[in-house]
Amino acid sequence: SKNSGHRHFMYLAFSQDEFVEAASGASTGTRMPRADWKFMRGIEFVTAPPQVMAAFENIAGSLIDPVVKQHGETRALPEAEEAVAAA
């Protein structure tokens, strides 16, 4: 979304199994699949009116940001464990 006010909505939309499956199904390559950007541009999302999206962002931001932060930290944990074990 060009509107950064939709950041949390887009995060949730891109996290949906349906979106991930569609994006994966349209990717090409075997060793390192690449997204088919023409296909991706054609995916449409239904959004609410601006005032509803603003309310969603106000509520969702405080809930989603800590989850996203925790997810990033959790993904880095195995690398940190390997580094400590190798030291």
* Phi and psi angles of residue 49, each rounded to the nearest 5 degrees, phi first: -60, 155
* Residue range 8-38, pLDDT digits in tens: 777 778 888 888 888 887 777 766 667 788 8
What pLDDT is attached to residue 5? 65
Percent helix, strand, coil in the chain (nearest 5)? 70, 0, 25
* Residue range 63-80, pLDDT digits in tens: 888 887 877 777 777 777
Does the global pTM surpass 0.75?
Answer: no
What pLDDT is attached to residue 1? 42
Tell me how far apart the alpha carbons of residues 65 and 77 are, in angstroms, rounded to a whole number.
19
Long-range contacts of 68-74 (CB under 8 A, 24+ apart): 68/11
